[in-house]
Structure 1
């Protein structure tokens, strides 16, 4: 007994552990997918900015090239401001302080880019022109390779038209600064201007390539997301349709049972009643062979009772099959929510006391599907929460997302369709929204009314 118990507990613990690990792993993968832009952008900032910093860090202060706008600012700061605060009496000390200021700038620049990238992913309010301007100016002051990451961010976070405008602004600004330093130096302008122009075109090409790659990846991700949403909707709709077909088929079978068996059993009861009356008349007319007649009479009575009981049971089974018209709404919604990678949808389904009618379940499924589609296409939400529970004699469906929201809502066909479905079901519809605070939907479906 002890070995059996130990085997059962070990199998149960192993199954529980496997389920927990699988669930944790899936949640971790979904979380990493939602933060993939932050992770890729962070590594890009660290790689480009890190190489620049390390190259400068292992260069002697006397050999460091400070021929950039921020380099001239560092020279001016050390000579005109810092020299008044501390005593810098030699040219080597002045060069070291200039080098230290220049090195500090390139150490802070990757951190600034990574922080702004994280804020843009997490908070839409930081996708502002002013912050892009700050990052553009900071990159141009150092002629930094992090401008490649900035060009990629234009494609990732802005619409195509705005992204192209910012990319053109970046190229024009970089070209102006680069050509100024090439042709302001007599040596470069006379002997090496071709190399400077070639380097400029190569750098502008890299900006365009980074922009195009991220734009293509963005479109590919959107196509994959649409495909995953369509597949999830197809799976959930298949569950709904299979349940609907099952209910329809059971209703048809129940109707056939009622029409065929009910008709024949009713005819059988009529004939048994007729035979029972004839048997009673024969018993009154003749008194001979009363034993056999009584046996025949009792047999007819029992047959009639059995036929009536059978007809009652058939009618009860038919009524039960017709009333059992509930579909598995929770299973369909679970498949729909778990099959969509972004946004991360949390479904809280509390089974109501009363069964959900077919038309109510179908309307809830269509409304939830439309809300998820709107959150993906228009709100660009990262997280959604769907709560379905019974509230008195109504079924409450609450949907909330963390999308960008809006101050003024323009109703589309999806919202109007949701309102029409609720109106046909006799339900109530409430929508709250605000800028950068997402959407909140609250729908109430009656459970005590059965519309057909």
Structure 2
């Protein structure tokens, strides 16, 4: 899951404000006890502080794949603290804590799991309401308050789910836009190369052939004339040969300038990655002549960067491009959790197949993160 740093920060801030507001009843109860501690108050205080600590832990780990088991345990603890607070205070104070749980669910679990958890802990709170009586005038007031809370709880979950999906869609759009820009760089270079090749062919096939014929005719004419006319013919012959040489030089330069700026395309991929600090070592002009090689390296870089964002739980990514006389090397390294026991997915398998088609090599090192080294012969 893509790391949603800004939204998590906002959720943490909103939850912290609610939690601090709920600290006021704790303080007031402490005042009513003449600033003395007893067992009931100690349990209330421990549940309140425990809820705050678990909430902070949850929002600090949100979005990480390996956090799933801890997420279930954390939500269980939060629900337990809510029930304890309701029981200890013999009131419905805990429902305000429960609203925070409703907001968190959409960011921690799939929709079906979230709805299941929402149903279970609201049922538990509903059952508990039957045993809370000190501040309720009648059973009717208990049910009215519970159903009001239930409506607000479901509404909070739906709003959070909408925000979660909008953020995911926004990040997917950002990645697609970045990939489009990178592909656009190669496409523009490819169009430029194709146009240069077309012009060079036209120069060679049309002007080059005509100049060659003209040169041969002038050379023959120089042998068939004498005196002053012959000097003009020889001069024209020299000019024609010089012009033919210039055309061949221009055609050669046009063919040699057919390079793709791979460095710029990879740099575009690294722009605006959410939640990742980017470190790169890419030469200012990293030109590649083979379009297929450039396209393959770009797609491999895209796959590795996407995997880092979705699965690595990393905060730093380092990308480098290097060239020797015989090879081009792409290195992508992060400080995440590494591969562990995970199996290669379709994306990684497809990337390995692309590398193999170009007789390249793919090495993977999983030590304090994941380091991928792709080497292509040139």
Name the TM tier (shorter chain): 0.7 to 0.9
Displacement after TM superposition at 1:430 (Å) = 2.6
Question: 1:158-191, CA deviations, whole angstroms, 9 ceiling, x for partnerless residues?
Answer: 2223222322222122223222334xx7x95xx5
1:398 aligned to 328, 331, 337, which one? 331
1:44 aligned to 14, 22, 25, which one? 14
Q: Residue 116 of structure 1 aligns with which residue? A: 57
- Does the Cα contact within 8 Å between 2:47 and 2:81 map onto a contact in 1? no
- Measured on the aligned residues, the alpha-carbon RMSD in Å equals 3.1
Q: Residue 11 of structure 1 aligns with which residue? A: none
- Does the Cα contact within 8 Å between 1:351 and 1:389 map onto a contact in 2? no
User: Is the deviation greater in 95-104 or in 171-180?
Assistant: 95-104
CA distance change for structure 1 residues 122 and 373 in 2, over 3 Å: closer, same or farther? closer
User: Is the deviation greater in 343-352 or in 198-207?
Assistant: 343-352
CA distance change for structure 1 residues 106 and 53 in 2, over 3 Å: closer, same or farther? farther
Q: Residue 176 of structure 1 aligns with which residue? A: 127
Q: Secondary structure at the match of 1:426?
A: coil
User: Is the deviation greater in 253-262 or in 118-127?
Assistant: 118-127
- Does 2:227 correspond to 1:257? no
Separation (CA, whole Å) in 2 of partners of 1:244 and 1:355? 11
Q: Residue 165 of structure 1 aligns with which residue? A: 116
Q: Secondary structure at the match of 1:180?
A: coil
Q: Residue 422 of structure 1 aligns with which residue? A: 355
Displacement after TM superposition at 1:207 (Å) = 2.1
- Does 2:101 correspond to 1:131? no
Question: 1:389-413, CA deviations, whole angstroms, 9 ceiling, x for partnerless residues?
Answer: 225622111223437855231431x
CA distance change for structure 1 residues 126 and 140 in 2, over 3 Å: closer, same or farther? farther
Q: Residue 97 of structure 1 aligns with which residue? A: 38
Q: Secondary structure at the match of 2:345?
A: coil
Displacement after TM superposition at 1:210 (Å) = 1.7
Q: Secondary structure at the match of 2:131?
A: helix
2:216 aligned to 270, 276, 289, which one? 270
Separation (CA, whole Å) in 2 of partners of 1:103 and 1:133? 18
Q: Residue 233 of structure 2 aligns with which residue? A: 300
Displacement after TM superposition at 1:120 (Å) = 1.5
Q: Secondary structure at the match of 1:441?
A: strand
Separation (CA, whole Å) in 1 of partners of 2:253 and 2:15? 66
Separation (CA, whole Å) in 1 of partners of 2:44 and 2:256? 78
- Does the Cα contact within 8 Å between 2:261 and 2:287 map onto a contact in 1? no
Q: Residue 315 of structure 1 aligns with which residue? A: 248
Provide the TM-score with structure 2 as the length reference. Answer: 0.84
Displacement after TM superposition at 1:342 (Å) = 5.3
Provide the TM-score with structure 1 as the length reference. Answer: 0.71
Paired residues, number: 365
- Does the Cα contact within 8 Å between 1:61 and 1:96 map onto a contact in 2? no
Larger radius of gyration: 1
